[in-house]
Structure 1
């Protein structure tokens, strides 16, 4: 199956093996996990709980969206603007350049077009209607961040890719020429040719893999995007780690911080943030304007689809966090937004559970999931 990707070999593999993060044939998290992140009393969700548990795992009707093209036609007054397009896909306009993070236009976060988590609704802007971008940043190789049909479509453009060590093997297998691929180890920086954009890979606490036998065969990273006047932090996927304080020291301060808040579970606490730990991570990073990502698009855990947003809204004042929570497709400049309108609450009364039909029950999966699918 082509969507599984390809393993690294040759010079690419040799460079991976030279990384300080490579041990015994795979990448590993380098920093000790903070105590208390994973609830010792929490059990892994069963397959049945993961696939059918909870009536509010999906919104009751389509989420409100905006058409951003009119706004995109003019440059941001402040020099920094972000448009959340769903999950971890953000069009970042920074100091005259455009960067697209973890682009996923596919219908499912899965190697299959028939099975796996299905997105709540299409991306508010079709991929072929997107403006030209100067760089695509990909944090790691999980299906909800590295999407085969999207990459195949982007292969027809000339856009360069910046990603983590090893992920380039997938990109190259799907039609991206090697000259357009830059793979970074943590703390390495790449200046995008023809621009003033500097992309730096930084630590995160996560894992990788697209199949049953390639766990941690590629690196996972957070990414820092810096222009001439502004800097933005993009978490990719991560648990809470004190390395965020080091990132702040070495690469901060940040005008915009994009942190994952969805797809969390008490038993997964060391590799996903969730909203409460995202607020702690934001503080470690210096408290820049906080744009939550990795929610509102796929049901990848057992919590309500809007729980990340509600919890953030409740906890943010005590942390002194400045939230930026736009609707899908709504371009926002961090310096111009002072309040949050909880737009997601309009959908609460219209919920209708949407369980999968019995015919799709996976009979070959284990009784419990040993780790998140994301």
Structure 2
């Protein structure tokens, strides 16, 4: 074999190996099939013609989607990534859960402490948010704490089945590490968990405005404006926001959603809230219906009841960990803070791993400036 042939063979072998690695575990990561999901979805008034629907119609890509999209992809460079390392806070967890606190682990992953209970929201500990271990958006900072170091959880709540919110590896490890925790999910998402061998007794599927009681804590599935899908088919499972109601405190977790005036109805039915966790990143003028921007997050906080509760706090999520749009890495926060000040909304911006005790005064430390 001559040198050229040897090099060609080596490249072909490397290419084959790369493809094998890229598709390794792909079928399992995709989750349940449409036939597996349908029995859990079919009874919902939001499920028509084999898929779920928003109350307010939402386009995944708006009318401006085509123009300039390819150019933005080719010229985006490192705009969406920090210029330096993202600082991580040392993880501190008290033995007993607080009356009201939140720890942000990055993106939408957050641990809520409410009236002595602990709820882990949208946990994603994998390196990539993708069905493939080698292709897809990768982390821009390490996970601040190992899953095995988390305190005992009462519940794990999932907002929808996109890879940056529902991660197979994380779910499977949590099921083993947290034997007492229940997995509370929107309709249809439980089919993915059953596919991954999570015990039926631990899965709670809910439609909007349905709830489950975990001892003295009520977890309510509420409306969002988004979409779902882990493969080529979309909207087979429901998407949602969540309300956590304890004996004395109330928390709203927005998951992933575009702005909708329907949140005012959620506030009237379940608020006012002491704490809201609202998405502020991955927005773009080409998909305004499915991802709210920072100013809309402030408006949502007010719609949920913040106008009458100046002591309530907004904590931003869905930013800073994965590059999923075209805006600059820290832009969600540089836009959020002035909008919050103008509307007199109390805001805290924890660094990854930082725990915020909402019952104590919190000052905003601009830690993100160090990362650029």
TM class by smaller structure = 0.7 to 0.9
Alignment partner, residue 243 of structure 2? 224
Q: 1:113 aligns with which of 133, 153, 156?
A: 133
**Match runs of 1:107-256 below 5 Å:** 107-156=127-176, 157-158=178-179, 159-192=181-214, 195-212=215-232, 214-256=233-275
Q: 1:67 aligns with which of 85, 90, 95?
A: 90
**Residues of 2 paired with 1:98 and 1:142: CA distance?**
23
Give the drift of 1:238.
0.6
1:167–1:322 distance in 2 versus 1, CA, 3 Å: same
Aligned 8 A contact 1:54 1:303 in 2: no
Aligned 8 A contact 1:185 1:201 in 2: yes
Aligned 8 A contact 1:44 1:267 in 2: no
Alignment partner, residue 38 of structure 2? 13
Q: Does 1:85 align with 2:105?
A: yes
Give the drift of 1:174.
1.0
Worse-superposed segment, 275-284 or 60-69:
60-69
**Match runs of 1:43-54 below 5 Å:** 43=66, 46=69, 49-50=72-73, 53-54=76-77
Give the drift of 1:304.
0.6
**Residues of 1 paired with 2:34 and 2:200: CA distance?**
13
1:44–1:261 distance in 2 versus 1, CA, 3 Å: farther
Runs of at least 5 residues in structure 1 that lack an aligned partner in the other structure: 349-374
1:319–1:88 distance in 2 versus 1, CA, 3 Å: same
Alignment partner, residue 301 of structure 2? 282
Residue deviations 1:207-231 (CA, integer Å, cap 9, x gap): 000001x200000000111111111
**Residues of 2 paired with 1:165 and 1:262: CA distance?**
25
State TM-score, norm by structure 1.
Answer: 0.86
**Residues of 1 paired with 2:122 and 2:164: CA distance?**
8
Give the drift of 1:45.
6.0
Q: Secondary structure at the match of 1:268?
A: coil
**Residues of 2 paired with 1:33 and 1:215: CA distance?**
13
**Residues of 1 paired with 2:58 and 2:238: CA distance?**
17
Aligned 8 A contact 1:225 1:233 in 2: yes
Alignment partner, residue 10 of structure 2? none
1:67–1:339 distance in 2 versus 1, CA, 3 Å: closer
Root-mean-square deviation (CA, aligned residues, Å) is 2.0
**Residues of 2 paired with 1:336 and 1:145: CA distance?**
29
Aligned 8 A contact 2:87 2:371 in 1: no
Greater RCO, CA 8 A, separation 6+: 1
State TM-score, norm by structure 2.
Answer: 0.86
**Residues of 2 paired with 1:169 and 1:45: CA distance?**
38
1:39–1:152 distance in 2 versus 1, CA, 3 Å: closer
Alignment partner, residue 345 of structure 2? 321
Q: Does 1:29 align with 2:54?
A: yes
**Residues of 2 paired with 1:323 and 1:332: CA distance?**
11
1:74–1:44 distance in 2 versus 1, CA, 3 Å: farther
1:155–1:8 distance in 2 versus 1, CA, 3 Å: farther
Give the drift of 1:338.
4.0
Give the drift of 1:23.
1.1
Give the drift of 1:65.
1.3
